[in-house]
Structure 1
Amino acid sequence: MQLTPHFTLAELTASNTAQREGLDNTPAPEILPRLVLLAQMLERIRTQLDVPIIVTSGYRAPAVNKAVGGVTSSDHQQGHAADIVAPGYGTPLQVARALAPLVSVLGIGQLIYERVGGKYWVHVSTRVPERPANRVITMTGQGAQLGIQDGH
């Protein structure tokens, strides 16, 4: 199902972990409108960066979220979030730095630059966190830091 010109339901629900573990990652009907809003936000990001966006993780059913080690309060379970990379634009750090000043303009509720176990990606969510300070953060194995931090 095509959600927006460049994003499909299959793309936002694809999960290697679900496939490998034999888990169903089909979203409940009430999640679908949120996935449309997520795809619309991804379209705005794609337009801003002027390159294709690769979704590395989108919607996660609770069992899939648990299997990948996601937190129980993960926005991925509610259809609000996607982890993305945009190699045509640059590194995840460059993508996060480009998007950080534009979160309100692009309708990004939360932007997280994640650096975990030698892997790097950008987490974007349509949900605005309760604490404004948590709107743009960096997550590493050592925890959260405000803003986009490169670790050097």
Structure 2
Amino acid sequence: MQLTEHFSLAELQASTKAAQLRIDNAAPPEVLPRLRKLADLLERVRTYLDTPISVTSGYRCPALNKAVGGVTSSDHMLGMAADIVAPGYGTPYDIAKALAPQVSVLGIGQIILEGVRGKQWVHISTRVPDKPANRVITITDAGAQLGIQALV
């Protein structure tokens, strides 16, 4: 099912880890409206960056979220978050730096530059966190910091 011009339901629930562990990661019907809203957000991000973006992690059922070490309150389980990269634009740091000033304009609820366990990506959510300071953060193996910080 195509959710938007460039993003499909299959793409937003695809998971190598789920396939590896034989976990059914199909989103339940009540999650589909939130995935459509997420796909709309991803379209705005794609347009703003003027380059294709790849979703490395979208919807996660609770079993998959646990298997990948996701937090129990993960927006991924609600169909409200995607981890992305856009090699045609630059590094995840470049992407996060470009998007951070546009959070409100693009309708991004939260953006997190993540650099953990030797991998880097940008987490984008439609949900606005309770604490406004947590809308734009960086998470590394050393912990969380406010704003977009250079990854070492």
TM-score tier, shorter chain, comes to over 0.9
**Correspondences of 1:10-25 after superposition (within 5 Å):** 10-25=10-25
> Cα distance, 1:69 vs. partner?
0.4
Q: How far did 1:76 drift?
A: 0.2
**2 CA distance for matches of 1:16 and 1:69?**
14
* 4+ long deviations beyond 6 Å: none
Contact map agreement 2:137 2:146 (CA 8 A) in 1: yes
Unaligned runs of 5+ in 1: none
Residue 117 of structure 1 and its aligned partner are, at CA, apart by 1.2
Gap regions ≥5 residues in structure 2? none
Tell me the matched-pair count: 152
8 A Cα contact 2:4 2:43, kept in partner: yes
Following superposition, the deviation at residue 124 of structure 1 comes to 0.1
Q: Could you tell me the TM-score, scaled by structure 2's length?
A: 0.99
User: Cα deviation per residue 1:75-94 (whole Å; 9 max; x = unaligned)?
Assistant: 00000000000000000000
Q: Distance in 1 between matches of 2:117 and 2:144?
A: 15
- Find the counterpart in structure 2 of residue 73 from structure 1: 73
Deviation at 1:151, TM superposition (A): 3.9
Cα distance in structure 2, aligned partners of 1:151 and 1:69 = 21
1:100 aligns with 2:95: no
Shift of 1:116: 0.3
| 1:71 aligned counterpart, secondary structure | coil
Aligned to 1:8: 8
Q: Is the 8 A contact 2:93 2:151 kept in 1?
A: no
Aligned-residue sequence identity (percent) comes to: 70
